[in-house]
Amino acid sequence: MNAIIVDDEPYVRQMLKSMIHWDDLSLHLAGEFFNGQDAYNWMKQDNHVDLVITDLRMPIMDGLQLIRDTLAIKRDITFLVISAFNDFHLVKEAFLLGAKDYLLKSEMTEDHINHTLSNLRLSDRQQMPAVSSKDLMKETLLSRLAAENLTSSDISTLRELLCNNEKRRLTLLLLRLNKLDANVSTPEASMKNAISECLSPNEEILASSSQAHVEIIQTSPYEYLILTLYAPQESEASIMHHLRSAFSTFRPSGFRINLGVSRISSDFSTLPQLLHEARLSVDYCFVAGNGSIIPYTSKFEETPPLSIDSRQQVALLKDQLSAILFDKRKPEIHNVIITPQTVSASHIRAIKELYMKYHFFLMDFAMQNGLYGELRELSNTYEEHLKFYGDLDSLNKWLSSVIAVVKTHNGENSMISQVKHYVEENYMHDISLQSVANKFNMNSSYLSRLFSEKRDTTFTDYLAHTRMTKAIEFMKSSNLKIYEICEKVGYTSPEHFSRTFKKLTGKSPKQFMDGHE
């Protein structure tokens, strides 16, 4: 099978060429291209291609336009897209256009690349029978629905294709797969079939199971839009019973499902509204908890009196952490945690952004206070998993864990204690406020202020006092000369050493030594 690589960055093309196990996957590299336009022109010349691995952001023609134009003339080509974390909205659009899987640039290890290519099952796809024009039309119209581009004419066509204009009850579902941990790969191609089998009509639940019908499209790597049709005489209770029964036992390996269910309608023209309802419902799983099945309620449209001022909330968090580290006050964590009881679906985006800001602040706080080592794992957990797959409960547990680490770090393990210990162990070296601040990944001005506030002395005075204390010990217990003692306590200038010694003791080094002979 022939494959091409399309990416404007030479090092990405080279990395893919060297990492892909071409022979093991029965793939042949037929070409590589700098932009989508060159690749499209080459494929138009009847060059046979089975797989296109393409970046989404490129000059001249980007990856989305390449997918759009290519699949308009060659439906049997498989697209694997490459994206950065902050371009995930482009990945979703690529899936709606027909891409089959994706690679994040930050996760492009040799094993991950080859596992993803293996999961594409290109050979199986090539042997599949040709898709009928009717099925292609249904897929196109459902993709337009997912993209919120469905016209009234499209709705009429879809109704005719799905039920020959006969009456049906319909509901829309949005199913999101949330990774159980960061190492889980993207869903395999068989996931769509598994969802379809899960929704097989149940004669014990449905009055007219023969008229039940399901259409599924994948709208993003981890999201599926499901349109379910039922007989007009089917009751709402039996429909909801069917859906709950089907998904209560659906446990795809490595994932937890979130399911949003729209109202039940008898009017195809309500499809855009049903999509809105399904989206609000699945979003609310963030509040209800991963693994929830949430039917739509009009309460999702309401906005209870919850004001989220992220700047004020971060300031509160800073105050709580400072209370733990410096003032020894008991933190009032309820001030910074958002509870499910106060949240509407309309708040979810703001809450996710707030916890992202919490993360940014906490990592900065950790760096400033010498806590980054202790918090590194929690930071990685947030970045790799909770940022994308966490619900409100897991984010609150994460925040509580961070605060617990700060609690265990106070007292003798506080930032100032660590700095004091470092000075006592390294006074003999050429250290300064700046070098110590660098050592602990702190801002030097912040360290200076912190030292003054918590120890009633400046860092410079503390360093000088430590050195003079050690110098006096040498004077009392050794026969070292003044310049030798000067070097042993970290001074390169005997004159500077003498001035500092006299300032702190009231005597010159010679006078002090003469008095202790």
**Per-residue pLDDT, 469:** 93
Q: How far apart are CA 327 and CA 311, in angstroms?
A: 22
Tens digits of per-residue pLDDT, 220-247?
Answer: 888 999 999 999 999 999 999 999 999 9
The answer to whether 72 touches 136, Cβ cutoff 8 Å, is no
Instruction: With cut-offs at 50, 70 and 90, classify the pLDDT of residue 411.
Output: very low
The answer to whether 72 touches 97, Cβ cutoff 8 Å, is no
Instruction: With cut-offs at 50, 70 and 90, classify the pLDDT of residue 266.
Output: very high
The answer to whether 292 touches 244, Cβ cutoff 8 Å, is no
**Per-residue pLDDT, 344:** 80
- Which residue bears the tokens 């991963």? 290
Phi-psi label, residue 242: left if phi above 0, alpha if psi -120 to 50, beta otherwise: alpha
Judged by DSSP in three states, 498 sits in helix
Q: Where is mean pLDDT largest: 85-89, 149-153, 182-186, 446-450?
A: 149-153
The answer to whether 467 touches 427, Cβ cutoff 8 Å, is yes
**Per-residue pLDDT, 120:** 75
Residues 155-165: what's their mean pLDDT?
A: 91
**Per-residue pLDDT, 451:** 80
Does pLDDT of 85 surpass 70?
Answer: no
In this structure, the chain runs to a length of: 517
Instruction: With cut-offs at 50, 70 and 90, classify the pLDDT of residue 126.
Output: very low
**Per-residue pLDDT, 384:** 78
Q: How many CA atoms lie within 13 A of 82 on its CB side?
A: 24
**Per-residue pLDDT, 328:** 60
User: What mean pLDDT, rounded, does the chain reach?
Assistant: 86
Q: How far apart are CA 500 and CA 508, in angstroms?
A: 9
Domain boundaries, the chain: 1-130, 131-301, 310-413, 415-514
Least-confidence region, from 222-236, 436-450, 470-484: 436-450
Q: Give the ranges where 98-168 is alpha helix by DSSP (H).
A: 110-120, 122-127, 133-146, 152-163
Judged by DSSP in three states, 337 sits in coil
Q: Where is mean pLDDT largest: 159-168, 201-210, 303-312, 335-344?
A: 159-168
Does pLDDT of 307 surpass 50?
Answer: yes
The answer to whether 59 touches 94, Cβ cutoff 8 Å, is no
Residues 119-128: what's their mean pLDDT?
A: 54
Q: Are strands 293-295 and 223-230 parallel, antiparallel or unpaired?
A: unpaired
b/e per residue 160-183 (b: at least 16 CB within 10 A): ebbbeeeebbbbbbbbbbbbeeee
Does pLDDT of 329 surpass 80?
Answer: no
DSSP 51-73: EEEEESS-SSS-HHHHHHHHHHH
**Per-residue pLDDT, 410:** 61
Instruction: With cut-offs at 50, 70 and 90, classify the pLDDT of residue 123.
Output: very low
Tens digits of per-residue pLDDT, 17-48?
Answer: 989 999 888 899 999 999 999 999 999 888 88
Instruction: With cut-offs at 50, 70 and 90, classify the pLDDT of residue 257.
Output: very high
Here the tokens at position 248 are 């209560």
Here the tokens at position 377 are 């794992």
**Per-residue pLDDT, 297:** 92
* 183 vs 64, residue with greater confidence: 64
Residues 160-169: what's their mean pLDDT?
A: 91
Enter the CATH code of domain 415-514. 1.10.10.60
**Per-residue pLDDT, 229:** 95
302 Cβ partners below 8 Å, 6+ apart?
344
* 483 vs 305, residue with greater confidence: 483
Q: Say how many C-beta atoms besides its own lie within 10 A of residue 104's C-beta.
A: 16
- Which residue bears the tokens 């400033």? 368
Does pLDDT of 304 surpass 90?
Answer: no
Third-level CATH fold of 131-301: Alpha-Beta Plaits (3.30.70)
Share of the chain above pLDDT 90, in %: 41
Q: What is the largest CA-CA distance in the chain?
A: 112
Does pLDDT of 182 surpass 90?
Answer: no
The angle that helices 444-455 and 415-426 make with each other, rounded to 10 degrees, is 100
Residues 270-298: what's their mean pLDDT?
A: 94
Comparing CA positions, the residue from 450, 374, 368 lying closest to residue 409 is 374
Third-level CATH fold of 1-130: Rossmann fold (3.40.50)
Residues 323-338: what's their mean pLDDT?
A: 72
